[in-house]
Structure 1
Amino acid sequence: MLSSRNRILTLVFLFLVASALLVHFYFWTGSGTPQETVPATEESKQQDPCRQRLGRLKDLNVKFPIKCARRDINIMPLGAKRPSVTNIDEPLFPKLQIVDPGKDPILEHCMPPMSLEVSPLPNKETVDASNILFGMSTLLSRLEDSIPFLERWLAHTHAHLFVIVINSEGDRELDTKKMAEIQSQMRDLGIMTSLTEPLDKNDDMARRYFSLVKLLYSKRDKLTRWIGIVDDDTFFPSMPSLLTMLSHYDTTQPQYVGGISEEWWSVVLYGLMAFGGAGLFLSLPMAAIIDSNYQTCRDQSGSSAGDMRIVECIQWHSNVKLTPVPSLHQMDMGGDLSGVYESGWRPLSLHHWKADWWDDKRRDNWFPLNVMHLVADICGECFLQRWRFGGDTVLSNGFSIATYPNGITNDELRKPEHTWLGPRPVPDTFNPGYVHSIGEMREPLKMGDEKRQYMFLDAEMVEGRVRQFYLNGGAGEELDTLFELVWSAGK
């Protein structure tokens, strides 16, 4: 017979065995939550959104304490075309919590990851734009500023970029050492770049721009089908989409392809021409016509705009007319461009990300498209794609999250919100300013009462996921609010 001491030890042993079996059962069957039965490991903390720490917030330029919420998103690439807006019944974010900078906060409120549908992801490894020679004319300092943006859309595409550079309009003596450093830097980033001095050192800006056609035509090879001329603040969100657009045209024939201005005033002033900032594309036969008449066109034109000199030469020496592509955006609009970026459009190009155009002193107003566009590494063609959550919240991916206290309908979202300045008046015209390019618009909403914007603040790639941050500055004594979205490739 067992002694009392042995009986107690036996009971303790059996209790421990039973407890271990129970934990094992709960863990492997999913009948319970592992965190309730065993200590949370670092791996389980990463898998459970409720245990995500928010230490990254300390690296952001935000004021504490701050209200915040977070949501994980898994993307689902489907064969359907991208809609203007996709409706989701559930809310985007859980309950807000206040974060104190003196602590290492853990999310107290969370929701399961959300799955969102996107267009099929392009295979970036197979992108081949070797049939395009791109050209640009700019200042050496402006080119250096543009490198991170050029890297986003041009690196590793096999397209070659030729850049005519000068120091400034008042200083034509080139810093060849600096030129070599920048060229080497761009090539190290995967941008096939060649920097060169002007064909004629006495050329002004318009003549340098026009001379790009001659320069690029002389650099053609057996793969070249297109010459593309851009500004240093032109941005192409999707090289595969650009290539698809160009593939629709017969490059054995003269082709003149580009985007006109969104503003009727500019169209009336300059005519139906391809505006250079939107991207101007010439097939090789078209470039050959300009090249063979280069000196005549150079001497005959008195235009102060390089893209205007190109269209003049085409008109003087051919019957070719512009083929306008509406999704190539010149962005001749000032002020608050929210209505454009929140429109649900799928732009082939965006211009004037250097806000205030040629004013380099106001860099705080530049659109950080290179960072805004980072989410495309996860979801491909989803940059600026729109989702409406619960009828009152709209995500314009990479630009903003907007909430509407009175709700917002699909019919309202169909019409861009006219938030920007203008238009400049054109006497004796039936076009009120943007009808030809944008169509019907809706009046701007009153901030606070009718709309609240959480603007894109920052993004980063972490362990194969993209973390986005959107910020709304609180009015008066109200705390700022920060939303975080974490994008992952769906399984």
Structure 2
Amino acid sequence: MFRRARFAVLFGVIFLVILRYYTTTRHSILDVTEGKTSGPWREEWGHPIKTKQSKGANDTVHDESDEYVNYLRVLHRKHGFTNDVPVATRRIKAKYSKPPLKARPSLAQVKNPLFKDPLGFTRARLDSDNIWLPAHAEIPPLSLPIARTGPRPSSIDASSLLFGISTTYARLTYANNALLSDWAAWLTDGRGSSNGAGLVLTLHGATESQVKTIRDELHHLGIDVTLTASAEGETDAGGRYAQLVQQMMRQRHREPDRKWFALVDDDVFFPCMGRLLSRLQKFDTSETHYVGVPSERADWVIDHGTAITYGGAAIFMTAPMLDTSGQLLCLQYTKTSGQTGLADEEDPGVGMAWDEGLSECLARNTPDIKMDVLPGLFSPTTANAQTNIDDVQRGGGYASGALPLALHRYRNYHRFEAGKGHAVTSACGEDCFLQRFLFKDGWVLVNGYTLTRYDGGVTAEKVTVQTPKKKSGGADSKGAVKPSERLRIVDAEDVNPKERYALSWKGKKKTWRLLDARVKENGEVWQAYVNRRGGGNTVGGDMDDRRPGDIVHHAEEEKSDVDSVILLIWEGEGEK
């Protein structure tokens, strides 16, 4: 009887272990890059984990190895890595061009390899007490060329800007407050204090408790916010942004130093606030100016060779323009109808997008005022239209080496956590964000986005983009487009320079996507790039939950049966 009882207990234990294994949630890279399992930048590193001081013939354990191991285990707990994880690390130091280049090249070619002996991948069992890491402290950091000494977030004064956003509590709290963390990247100094920019925020249909929760979180992040709630069903999106115009008109009289008043969608990201401010300085703020900053190709409508944009959900107005807009009847909402009176032609029962409604209202009532356009990432005037379209649809917009002025729909379209990618600017300035590097050993880094290895080698070919001459009345014979007469394109070539580099390769490639980024007190920025088992940056099979428009997965990806991690550690101060 006693023996049977022992067998029954043993069988029960085995059953529970098997049940736990098959019911444990395993996260895909889409979960990770949507921020569902990650926290804000300033999250604690956790308690230090001491590794045993044992070593192999070619390995040495240093004090800093404890920090590497601790960070890896934090990532392991949060993101569900396989226990057996190949890990590679590389310390990096920025080296700035002397004198600074006028424009950032689309590719920086590095004469040195990214990894060389004794660097490379080390297999680590993260559930083991012993983890052997190479002697990283004895390897000099790799200097990477940075084209320009762009400002760091801590040195930017954005007090001339006041932003207005209308959104919902559900959107802001989704994925562990992911959007709020992204806002902190461009509305603060990166150290928990405001960079001077103000935010007027309305939460549609929010309760008093929800308003307080969001207000407290924004203040904790260091964002200067004025927050109100709009009643559920009170007005449409156009009406809510019309309300914002009225609120911002009142606030500008209380804050006379504000020069620019911006209406933006909640999923717009400004990675280069210093550069944005310098572009806006070209306009006289005592005059009436209305500036759009479209980003994606989807922010443009191209019809019969003519391109038009409504601003890409990022509209900047001077104070005179703000006053002019606020006095127009077509931008007045009524609580009775819940509409601004501007309806979508295809669906009259639904109000049109707020930026389109604003544009149409101004076109009807102020026909002499044109929109000045600062292309954020895509500009139809700098190349053959079809080439430009294909470039963005393949994800080339982020991976092309362009320095974006604005990003739009970056999470939904590309599964890109821009706030984490932007963290590296604390170490090397905003000009190094998404900068593309080609290393001697065939690795390509798109800083803050991806790190890719080409097993058959990779070559770079210079491509000079000629701005085609446009014929009157529409596109030329090469398919180029011209902007609408209601637009004035400004600084298009600054976003998409004429001289670019296209990459070609042979064989398979393997891509590691940015998973996490941390800014340390000493100014270092730690970036963790991950390649998930199964290849293509997904777990494959039924767990592949890609959505339409998710273009970061590729059939030619080299497959692997384990997760692997690359840590890039940017030192705090680069070589001047």
**Count of residues in correspondence between the two structures:** 420
Is contact 2:271-2:406 (8 Å) kept? Answer: yes
Q: Closer, same or farther in 2 for the Cα pair 1:201/1:58, shift >3 Å?
A: closer
Amino acid at match of 1:467: W
Aligned counterpart, 1:255: 289
Aligned counterpart, 2:325: 290
> In the alignment, does 2:147 pair up with 1:97?
no
Aligned counterpart, 2:488: none
Q: Structure 1 length normalisation: TM-score?
A: 0.74
Q: Closer, same or farther in 2 for the Cα pair 1:290/1:431, shift >3 Å?
A: farther
Aligned counterpart, 1:323: 372
Q: Quote the RMSD (CA, aligned, Å).
A: 3.8
**Greater Rg over alpha carbons, structure:** 1
| Distance apart, 1:407 and its partner CA | 3.1
In 2: Cα distance, 1:399 partner to 1:86 partner: 16
- Summarize the alignment of residues 61-460 of structure 1 with structure 2, pairs less than 5 Å apart: 61=79, 62-78=81-97, 79-81=99-101, 82-93=104-115, 94-101=119-126, 102-108=128-134, 111-118=139-146, 119-122=148-151, 124-144=153-173, 145=177, 146-155=179-188, 156-167=194-205, 174-198=206-230, 202-220=234-252, 221-260=255-294, 262-263=296-297, 266-268=300-302, 272-277=308-313, 279-295=314-330, 301-303=342-344, 304-318=352-366, 319-327=368-376, 338-355=395-412, 366-381=415-430, 382-390=432-440, 392-411=442-461, 449-460=507-518
In 2: Cα distance, 1:74 partner to 1:261 partner: 30
Amino acid at match of 1:291: G
Q: Structure 2 length normalisation: TM-score?
A: 0.64
Aligned counterpart, 1:487: 570
Contiguous gaps of at least 5 residues in structure 1: 1-40, 168-173, 357-364, 416-427
| Distance apart, 1:58 and its partner CA | 2.2
Is contact 1:264-1:433 (8 Å) kept? Answer: no
Aligned counterpart, 1:14: none
Is contact 1:66-1:481 (8 Å) kept? Answer: yes
Identity among equivalent pairs (%): 27
Aligned counterpart, 1:468: 527
Secondary structure at 1:63's aligned position in 2? coil
Amino acid at match of 2:362: I
1:166-201 C-alpha deviation (Å, 9 max, x unpaired): 13xxxxxx4123212321331232211111234996
In 2: Cα distance, 1:434 partner to 1:263 partner: 13
Amino acid at match of 2:82: K
1:244-288 C-alpha deviation (Å, 9 max, x unpaired): 1111111122111113464379514796233343x2111112222
| Distance apart, 1:366 and its partner CA | 4.1
Is contact 1:53-1:105 (8 Å) kept? Answer: no
In 2: Cα distance, 1:268 partner to 1:121 partner: 33
Is contact 1:391-1:409 (8 Å) kept? Answer: no
Q: Closer, same or farther in 2 for the Cα pair 1:104/1:368, shift >3 Å?
A: farther
Amino acid at match of 1:452: K
In 2: Cα distance, 1:342 partner to 1:329 partner: 13
Is contact 1:84-1:414 (8 Å) kept? Answer: no
Amino acid at match of 2:570: W
In 2: Cα distance, 1:457 partner to 1:139 partner: 26
Is contact 2:307-2:482 (8 Å) kept? Answer: no
| Distance apart, 1:460 and its partner CA | 1.8
Amino acid at match of 1:347: P
Q: Which has the higher contact order (CA 8 A, sep 6+)?
A: 2
| Distance apart, 1:105 and its partner CA | 2.0
Is contact 2:463-2:502 (8 Å) kept? Answer: no
1:309-354 C-alpha deviation (Å, 9 max, x unpaired): 1111221222111111122569999998642221111111111133
Is contact 1:87-1:388 (8 Å) kept? Answer: yes
Is contact 1:122-1:240 (8 Å) kept? Answer: yes
Q: Closer, same or farther in 2 for the Cα pair 1:337/1:63, shift >3 Å?
A: farther
Q: Closer, same or farther in 2 for the Cα pair 1:65/1:206, shift >3 Å?
A: same
Contiguous gaps of at least 5 residues in structure 2: 1-59, 189-193, 334-339, 345-351, 380-387, 466-474, 484-491, 535-558
Is contact 1:406-1:450 (8 Å) kept? Answer: yes
Is contact 2:153-2:429 (8 Å) kept? Answer: no
